[in-house]
Amino acid sequence: MTVTTPLDLARSCWGDTIPDYVVVLAEECGRSSQSAVAKRLNRSATLVSNVLRNKYSGDMAAVEDVVRGVFMGRSVTCPALGRITTAACRDWRAKGKTFSNENSERVRMFKACRNCPLARKEAA
């Protein structure tokens, strides 16, 4: 099979088990570039490449959340911010693992994320 697009590459590496969010990721890469997509996801181009090639050994649930939030419009209700994308939620949860008083929003989100059901579920 000749690989001509990121979607062709992903399909050749994933086969019939390709998840819908990987299809969306590949289509976005085809519209621009892996680097541009990675920047929008706030992740590395290497991560995007490895996901497309089904070689990513990291947290695929995190990748799914970010792709669904940025490109597929998935959102959650944040106790502090209201409706936000799953990508923004995951980023705040990652920041919220350590306390920082660099600004009031960071302090507020540290407290909110510690009490959020999603963060508690992730920690379990």
Instruction: Based on the fold, state whether residues 60 and 110 are members of the same structural domain.
Output: no
Domain range for 15 is 6-71
Residues 65-69: contacts with CB under 8 Å, at least 24 apart: 65/89, 65/90, 66/41, 66/42, 66/90, 67/21, 67/22, 67/24, 67/25, 67/41, 68/21
pLDDT (tens digit per residue) in 24-68 = 999 999 999 999 999 999 999 999 999 999 999 999 999 999 999
Whether residue 15 sits in one domain with residue 60: yes
Residues 31 and 53 in one domain: yes
CA dist., res. 29 & res. 48, Å (int):
9
Q: Which residue has the higher pLDDT, 115 or 23?
A: 23
Q: What is the pLDDT of residues 62-121, one digit of tens each?
A: 999 999 999 999 999 998 999 999 989 988 888 878 888 888 988 888 889 888 888 766
Is there a domain that residue 38 lies in? yes
How many structural domains are present in the chain?
Answer: 2
Residues in the chain: 124
Residues 80 and 43 in one domain: no
Same domain, yes or no: 14 and 67? yes
